[in-house]
Structure 1
Amino acid sequence: MTDDHPDVDDLDLTGWVVRETVLDKSRFVGVVMRDVELDGLITNLTVNGVEVTAYVEAELDRREPVRVLLRSDDLDDLREAWMVLQAGWAVTTERLRRMGEGAAQTSVGGEWSAVQTLRHLVFVADAWLRGHVLDGPLAYHPLGLGASFMDGRQLGLDPDAHVTLDEVLAVNAERVDFVTRVLVAATPDTVGAPVRELPAGSFPAPQPGRTLLDCLHVVLNEEWAHHSFCVRDLDRLESGAAP
């Protein structure tokens, strides 16, 4: 035990929800974990002496083959992945319209609603692509929604705005079109070239040498991850299992 990393013993954490927490190099010894969900950036996870990350990743790839394309550095793979992702969102959008505005605004288990998820993807496109490749001052759409650890107001966002499904879909469609045009126009030379650096105080933080490929990987992976979360929560809503 150290002052920085104290041991924790004999606690009952049944029903706890832990969000946006770093647990790197933690050990859970002699614990009881039943009916537990883990969602996040998880690597090198050992359960009862078995490193399970590779098994989980392989199963996710089997269920959603688009994940393999998302990891590629090949532009044709990324373009195909983007088409697959948008086809999935088209199905989900029709589902949302069928379920109605109430479902689109409903948070399941404290997660973002579908409308909030779409607002976040607007922000992702602005922050990780538009700001890096467009000339002129960096501007985030006010209906975009940043991550919970950010103060979006400092970036001109309005996190408390009431946004309807139709309103966010209209803005999101503009961002989808923009990402599509960037993917179509990209070449093997331009995709590996550094993008313009963002000013201090912007998001993401300035990073010299960031390339267009880096930005595309973030945008596409965010699209995949948040669509998966959205579908998961709509399934829970429709099944009546939403907490």
Structure 2
Amino acid sequence: MRRFQDEDLTGAEFRECDLSRARMVGVVMQGTEIDGLVTNLVVNGVEVMSYVEAELDRRHPVRLLIRSDQPDDLRDAWQQLRDDWARTTERVRSMPEDSEHRGVDGEWSMVDTLRHLVFVHDSWFRRCVLGLTEPFTAMGLGPPLVSGQEDGLDPSAQPSLDEVLAVRVRQASEIETWLAEVTPDQLAKTAPVPDDDRWPPYAKGRTVRQCLGTVLNEEWEHHRFCKRDLDKLSRQGSSPG
């Protein structure tokens, strides 16, 4: 166990770190941001995640639909997610040139975020929900380890916004066609994940509903990140020189 004592970590950034079971005693945390998979977070003796989750549901009711087991709710959730991305796409087109290719604070740009969702679709919908073994879309962007190992992925690809959106439209059509006919019984079945060692390796044994849920959650989470970063870019552009 690593122990930090009397350390000044002001301005430190922890990225892709596992802080499970971490204890912070007598710390000063002012203006701190925590963004990630957080559960059972206790602050000064109070488990706060139930409050956080309830507030997120209040601000973003689509989260309730994403967690539903009812096909009608899932169809509604998917349409709302698509509408959100459409509005954000229109927004970035109205921003200064190349805003869609600019990242903030080391995060993905909007184009890179959409490339990641192309990869998510291939991974969790085509492979896990549909059981297909076709190659990943070349422009898809996965985690560095995955992108370097999976055949067909091109981490160095530099597609335009319109090129990525064209792929996203085709993928959205696949989901919409499938959602139009899916039943609760089909959602409850074990996902037909191909029996190979390709990504995602931890999907075996999950239900179709759980795999679809990963797609929907990734769409929502990454749209939130994208909006956050576009807000930052807008503030930077409006700051006095």
- Residue 194 of structure 1 deviates from its aligned partner by 2.0
Say whether the 8 Å CA contact 1:125–1:175 is kept in structure 2: yes
Q: Per-residue CA shift, 1:76-127, capped at 9, x if unaligned?
A: 1111111111111110111122225511000111111000000000000100
Q: Among residues 22, 28, 35, which one is paired with 1:26 in the alignment?
A: 22
User: Is 2:35 aligned against 1:48?
Assistant: no
Aligned to 2:191: 195
Aligned to 1:153: 148
Distance in structure 1 (CA, Å) of the matches to 2:114 and 2:25: 39
132-141 or 82-91: bigger deviation = 132-141
Q: What does 1:172-187 align with in structure 2 at a 5 Å threshold?
A: 172-187=168-183
Distance in structure 1 (CA, Å) of the matches to 2:171 and 2:17: 30
Q: Per-residue CA shift, 1:31-90, capped at 9, x if unaligned?
A: 111111000011111111221111111111111111111111111111111111111111
Aligned to 2:225: 229
Q: Per-residue CA shift, 1:137-161, capped at 9, x if unaligned?
A: 332101000024x331321211121
Distance in structure 2 (CA, Å) of the matches to 1:109 and 1:17: 10
User: Is 2:66 aligned against 1:70?
Assistant: yes
Aligned to 2:86: 90
Give % identity. 50
Structure 1 residues 135, 22: CA separation in 2 closer, same or farther (over 3 Å shift)? Answer: closer
99-108 or 33-42: bigger deviation = 99-108
Corresponding pairs, count: 237
Say whether the 8 Å CA contact 2:69–2:184 is kept in structure 1: no
Give unpaired runs (5+ residues) of structure 2.
none
RMSD in angstroms over aligned alpha carbons?
A: 1.8
Structure 1 residues 205, 135: CA separation in 2 closer, same or farther (over 3 Å shift)? Answer: closer
42-51 or 95-104: bigger deviation = 95-104
Instruction: Supply the AA of the counterpart residue of 1:198.
Output: P
TM-score (norm 2): 0.92
User: Is 2:127 aligned against 1:131?
Assistant: yes
Say whether the 8 Å CA contact 1:101–1:164 is kept in structure 2: no
Aligned to 2:112: 116
TM-score (norm 1): 0.92
Distance in structure 2 (CA, Å) of the matches to 1:135 and 1:216: 12
Instruction: Supply the AA of the counterpart residue of 2:185.
Output: D
Q: Among residues 129, 152, 159, which one is paired with 1:163 in the alignment?
A: 159
- Residue 228 of structure 1 deviates from its aligned partner by 0.5
Distance in structure 2 (CA, Å) of the matches to 1:201 and 1:101: 41
Instruction: Supply the AA of the counterpart residue of 2:102.
Output: T
Q: What does 1:96-111 align with in structure 2 at a 5 Å threshold?
A: 96-111=92-107
